[in-house]
């Protein structure tokens, strides 16, 4: 016995298949856009972090004041601390002082 097959019942299969494929493609596109947005936000966050690090990298490490050097115990280390402090000092030299070195030459 052969079972009758009703073609009219399954005639909309291509339409159902197409709509299912379109739904899946839209879902994939939505996921791809979300992934791209997250990736762009991460890049922006890392760029902001890099800018902050670069801005803070100009602070120099070392003595900032005479009191920082006065507590150093070994005399040679204390003198080296004062030398480092004077090297980075922005104060004007006293009258009659020799001119500062320019470009590594006297």
- What is the model's pLDDT at position 31? 97
pLDDT band for position 69 (cuts 50, 70, 90): confident
Question: Residue with structure tokens 């801005």?
Answer: 55
Question: Residue with structure tokens 């009659």?
Answer: 96
Question: Residue with structure tokens 């890392």?
Answer: 46
Higher pLDDT, 23 or 94: 23
Judge whether 69 and 63 are in contact, CB under 8 Å: yes
**pLDDT tens readout for residues 12-39:** 766 777 888 889 999 999 999 999 999 9
Please check the confidence at residue 99 and state whether its pLDDT lies above 60: yes
From CA 74, how far away is CA 66, in angstroms rounded? 16
Q: Per-residue pLDDT averaged across 64-91, rounded?
A: 73
């Amino acid at each position: 016995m052969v079972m009758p097959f009703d073609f009219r019942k399954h005639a909309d299969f291509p339409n159902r298949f197409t709509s299912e494929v379109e739904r899946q493609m839209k879902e994939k596109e939505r996921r791809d856009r979300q992934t791209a947005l997250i990736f762009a936000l991460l890049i922006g966050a890392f760029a902001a972090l890099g800018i902050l690090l670069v801005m803070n990298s100009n602070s120099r490490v070392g003595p900032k004041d005479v009191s920082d050097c006065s507590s150093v115990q070994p005399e040679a280390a204390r003198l080296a601390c004062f030398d480092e402090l004077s090297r980075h000092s922005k104060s004007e030299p006293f009258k009659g002082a020799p001119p500062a070195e320019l470009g590594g030459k006297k």
